[in-house]
Amino acid sequence: MEKLVITKEKELLLRKRIKEHKEKPGPLMPSLHDAQEIFGCIPLEVQKIISEELKISVSKINGVVTFYSRFSLEPKGKHVIGVCLGTACYVKGSQSILDEICNSLQIKVGETTKDGLFTVEATRCVGACGLAPVYTIDGKVYGHATVNSAHQELRKIIDEEAAGEN
């Protein structure tokens, strides 16, 4: 995976959005959401920009960034796969699905493939217990999953990427 490059255009866009948020109460969270959207992650360099604009310490910002799973310190892949390990999903075999996806992509949970296409995450309850076991790809929920169905969906995305369809 390539190192994150903070372009002047992206930095200016973030500063512009932060200025808009400063006019309302509680500007930190919307600024962090914007930073995550603009850069794909919120590394220390981006946290320093937010700190400078909002006059909030980097340590406080880092505490928020590392507390919430929505935020990431490193870039995530183009496709984010989350396998639910909540009780209902786990009991119905989600660990095997997670293992299959990791083995297929040759990465561990929390890692991103070298080509930057996939990040795999172990998640907790996604609120679809009636469909257990479930996994998500780019926010879309796949229910009543099996190792085979997860492998097929992954293969489909890999094939589409290879064909240049995404």
Note the pLDDT of residue 19.
97
Flag whether 2 is in a domain. no
Domain span holding position 52: 8-67
Residues 51 and 100 in one domain: no
In this structure, the answer to whether residues 56 and 115 fall within a common structural domain is: no
Contact 95, 85 (CB under 8 A): yes
In a domain? residue 73? no
pLDDT at 101: 97
pLDDT for 166: 52
Percent pLDDT > 90 in the chain is 83
Q: Tell me if the bond preceding 133 is cis, omega within 30° of 0.
A: yes
- Quickly tell me which residue has 């790809």 as its tokens: 137
62, 86: one domain: no
Pairing of strands 140-142, 118-123: unpaired
Written as six digits, the tokens of 68 are: 């919430």
Tell whether 120 and 48 lie within a shared domain: no
Q: Could you tell me if 97 and 157 lie in one domain?
A: yes
Same domain, 63 and 83: no
Q: What percent of the chain has pLDDT over 70?
A: 97
Q: Among 46, 67, 88, which residue terminates a domain?
A: 67
**pLDDT category of residue 69 using cuts at 50, 70 and 90:** confident
User: Is residue 30 in a domain?
Assistant: yes
Whether residue 120 lies inside any domain: the answer is yes
- Evaluate if residue 59 carries a pLDDT over 70: yes
Range 117-156 burial, b when 16+ CB lie within 10 A, else e: bbbbbebeebebbebbbbbbbeeeebbebebeebeebbee
pLDDT at 1: 47
**Span of 47-51, 66-70, 121-125 with lowest mean pLDDT:** 66-70
Do 35 and 92 fall within a single domain?
A: no
Last residue of a domain, one of 18, 47, 67: 67
Is pLDDT above 60 for 138? yes
Asked whether residue 95 falls in the same domain as residue 157, the answer is: yes
Sign of the torsion angle spanned by Cα atoms 88, 68, 72, 27: positive
Is residue 52 domain-shared with residue 97, that is, in the same domain? Answer: no
Q: Looking at the 3D structure of the chain, how many domains does it have?
A: 2
Task: For the chain, give the mean pLDDT.
Answer: 93
pLDDT digits (tens, 9 = 90+) for 85-132: 999 999 999 999 999 999 999 999 999 999 999 999 999 888 999 999
In this prediction, residues 71-84 reach a mean pLDDT of 92
Residues 109 and 42 in one domain: no
Q: Is residue 143 part of a domain?
A: yes
Domain co-membership, 98 together with 159: yes
pLDDT digits (tens, 9 = 90+) for 3-31: 678 899 999 999 999 999 999 999 999 99
Q: Quote the pTM value.
A: 0.74
22 vs 164 pLDDT, higher one: 22
Q: Are residues 38 and 85 in the same domain?
A: no
